[in-house]
């Protein structure tokens, strides 16, 4: 059995914590006007920094899977598992939203939009898994020159796709393997960075500098647009934003090169990382329920965002982890989380 790469596991653990930070800070960002400017500035900063998490999840997939060649049977099992998880959690949230949130969902819409917004990740991953065996063969057959050429082509497509959204337009025919979204792009970027991690932008200063510049630009532009519109501006927080994509790639590069790409925590730390990462998917799926309870009972202006975003984020991580850890003790629980 291949030994785990703890650089990637560290990225996974940071990312699922950051996903929760996104959802908590979003609640406060969208309360612009009801909370103070200082609280909004803090919420936006955490929201933006945490946004690297979702691209990193896709990049981990690319780093772990694109360099392999697996049987079609294994691919089929992976897709089937994701379909089961999607169906089960769609039903769970259908019931949850109808009973607790009083927001009924039409089952006929299941193919077209998620029952709960955060389930979009499953809708994105299933098509990627469908083409993954062909993507793997393609990557296996490419040399460095071809990989760079492919990277240039799909980067141009991603830039065009994002810019065209500001004009309510899109490509007549999207580039195959990339489509009109950025998620497959992140998968390839993860593969490319991981494969050439010791050669891409050597040193720490350049990736760190690019990360800081991208984040600062995105923060400034979002803040300015929010002030101008009089409400929280979310367009630049989308995962298709090239500034966010570049920042996420730099963060991934820096973490995958941590300790010269040989991050090796103590045996005790490994146990906790393994435990948390083993529950990360379930934490992602379940934490929205606890957040819904919080949002229904506490308005964003009630308590300071400076205190509540860190406290609620940590609380949701621990509460969700506890629930998932217990559920995964059962055979059925392991299949749906």
What's the pLDDT at 295?
96
Structure tokens at 144: 């460095």
Q: Which two tokens stand for residue 276?
A: 């948390």
Number of domains, the chain: 1
| Structural domain contains residue 326 | yes
Q: What angle do CA 64, 68, 69 make, to 5 degrees?
A: 145
Nearest-CA neighbor of 186 among 60, 318, 94?
60
CB-based contacts of 61, cutoff 8 Å, min separation 6: 125, 128, 187, 190
Q: Determine the structural domain holding residue 157 and report its residue range.
A: 6-336
Dump pLDDT digits (tens) for 315-329: 999 999 999 999 999
> For residue 243, is it within any domain?
yes
- pLDDT of 3 reads 76
Question: Angle at CA 320, nearest 5°, toward 315 and 325?
Answer: 130
Helix%, strand%, coil% for the chain, nearest 5: 75, 0, 25
Percent of the chain with pLDDT over 70: 99
Is 141 part of any domain? yes
Q: Look over the chain and give the mean of its residue pLDDT values, rounded to a whole number.
A: 93
What pTM did the predictor assign? 0.94
Is residue 330 assigned to a domain?
yes
Query: What gap in Å lies between CA 126 and CA 283, rounded to an integer?
Result: 19
pLDDT tens per residue, range 151-164: 999 999 999 989 98
> Does 314 fall in a domain?
yes
Task: Select the more confidently predicted residue: 113 or 35.
Answer: 35
In a domain? residue 1: no
Residue 37 lies in a domain: yes
In a domain, 288, yes or no: yes
In this predicted structure, the answer to whether residue 1 has a pLDDT above a threshold of 60 is: no
Q: What is the mean pLDDT of residues 21-25?
A: 98
């Amino acid at each position: 059995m291949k030994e785990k790469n703890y650089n990637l596991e560290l990225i996974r653990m940071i990312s699922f914590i950051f996903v929760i930070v996104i959802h908590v800070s979003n609640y406060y960002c969208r309360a612009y006007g009801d909370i103070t400017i200082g609280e909004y500035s803090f919420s936006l900063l955490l929201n933006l920094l945490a946004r690297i998490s979702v691209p990193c999840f896709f990049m981990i997939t690319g780093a772990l899977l694109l360099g392999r060649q697996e049987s079609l049977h294994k691919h089929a099992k992976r897709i089937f598992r994701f379909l089961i998880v999607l169906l089960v959690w769609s039903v769970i949230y259908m019931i949850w939203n109808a009973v607790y949130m009083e927001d009924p969902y039409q089952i006929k819409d299941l193919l077209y939009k998620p029952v709960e917004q955060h389930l979009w990740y499953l809708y994105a991953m299933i098509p990627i898994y469908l083409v993954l065996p062909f993507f793997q063969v393609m990557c296996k057959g490419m040399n460095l020159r071809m990989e760079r050429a492919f990277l240039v082509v799909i980067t141009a497509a991603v830039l065009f796709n994002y810019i065209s959204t500001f004009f309510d337009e899109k490509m007549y025919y999207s580039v195959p393997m990339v489509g009109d979204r950025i998620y497959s792009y992140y998968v390839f970027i993860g593969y490319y960075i991981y494969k050439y991690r010791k050669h891409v932008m050597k040193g720490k200063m350049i990736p760190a500098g690019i990360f800081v510049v991208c984040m600062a630009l995105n923060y400034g532009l979002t803040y300015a647009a929010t002030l101008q519109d009089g409400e929280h501006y979310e367009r630049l927080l989308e995962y298709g934003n090239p500034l966010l994509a570049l920042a996420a790639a730099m963060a991934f590069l820096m973490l995958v090169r941590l300790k010269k790409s040989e991050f090796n925590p103590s045996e005790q730390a490994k146990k906790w990382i393994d435990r948390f990462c083993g529950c990360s998917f379930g934490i992602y799926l379940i934490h929205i329920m606890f957040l819904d309870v919080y949002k229904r009972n506490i308005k964003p202006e009630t308590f300071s965002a400076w205190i509540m975003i860190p406290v609620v984020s940590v609380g949701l991580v621990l509460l969700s982890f506890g629930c998932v850890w217990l559920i995964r003790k059962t055979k059925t629980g392991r299949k749906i989380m």
